Amino acid sequence: MICRIPGKGRFYMIRKLLIINIALLMFVLLLPLTTLAAETASYSLIISNDKPEIGKEVEVTVKGKNLQDVYAYEVNFVYDDSQLRFKAAKSAFSGFTVPAILKKDHLQFASTKMGNTPGENGEVTLCTLTFEVIGGGKASIELTDVKLVNSKLASVTHSAGTVATTEIKNMTTFTDISGHWAKEAIEKAAKLGFVNGYEDGSFRPQGLITRSEFAVILARALHLPVNDKQLTFSDLDSIPQWASTSISATVKAGIVTGYEDNTFRSDQKITRAEITTMIVRALGLSLDTTRNSTFADADDIPAWAKTYITAASEAKLVQGRDGNLFAPNDQATRAEAVTLILSMLNNKK
């Protein structure tokens, strides 16, 4: 048998190829994993206060980790709308922000950079949400998914499933309601989160309430969605910032209106006729112009309020005072406002 031995040239060529292949394999194996595949993106929610009181605000900041070239984003949330009321969203990006979209307990917010600017990389703060605490117990906010867009307009969607929780303190005991006829109603309203007391621990049940204050309480009780639309009242400058979105929400819902001169009169004390009218509008009760009020002071009821007060009385939402007097033009107390709103909520059920 004759064995053929490769020539030296062929032998050296095979050895050279083998060395090159081994070198390439070692190079690949020694490469950091991040060079071959980007680290998995993750998200966190940072809450400003994990034990807030009813009536206070909490901020939730959304952060991403291991992000690459983030030029724009869309974030989606689910939250406890019976305990938290969305107020505002602020993007950490400079550029254009899409107003938050609310659908019951779902919230969507989006923002993008503008112009020829690079995207963000690494650990990135996306946005901060602000909520008002309106109910007691545990409340949760879940970041369900995040859509990212890079500077080349390519997009990717991540399922986040990140949850932040907060333990809300129930401030239902007030120092000045013992023995008051509305004690039970006040405590229930505080537990539901649509009213709160003062810093000294009092509720001041006989205190009078302004039109702005009542609009805010009503918007909270009904969980009306935030409405950032600019109000058009002629005395807009007198409406406090803390009340403007609630007033706007009640106006949009057809519950609150201004006066004939297009003023709102924010600081004016609200009357019993006005709060009753607003409650009837909120419930959408039918009005019957042929029905007459049975209150002893029916003649004192303003013409614009007659059908509303009659409808409220027949629905057992309101009762008269001593002597079967309704006192339509008397200024309403905080206790009366709370009691009427609870009657409204019970009627809605």
Give CA–CA dist 107/252, Å, rounded: 20
Q: For residue 33, is pLDDT > 60?
A: no
Comparing 21-25, 80-84, 216-220, 261-265, the range with the smallest average pLDDT is 21-25
Q: What is the CA radius of gyration of the chain?
A: 31
Between 101 and 18, whose confidence is greater? 101
pTM score above 0.95? no
The DSSP symbol for 325 reads B
> What pLDDT is stored for residue 338 in this prediction?
94
Give CA–CA dist 305/279, Å, rounded: 12
Q: For residue 223, is pLDDT > 80?
A: yes
**Nearest-10 crossing angle of helices 211-222, 241-252:** 60
Percent of the chain with pLDDT over 90: 58
In the sheet with 120-133, reading across from the earlier edge strand, the strands are: 42-47, 57-70, 120-133, 84-91
Going from the C-alpha of 240 to that of each of 134, 204, 210, 246, 337, the distances in angstroms are 20, 21, 12, 11, 20
Mean pLDDT across the stretch 229-243? 89
The full set of domain ranges for the chain reads 42-168, 183-348
42-168: CATH number: 2.60.40.680
Q: Are 318 and 339 in contact (CB under 8 A)?
A: no
Q: For CA atoms 48, 50, 52, 54, give the dihedral sign.
A: positive
User: In whole numbers, what is the pLDDT of the chain averaged over residues?
Assistant: 85
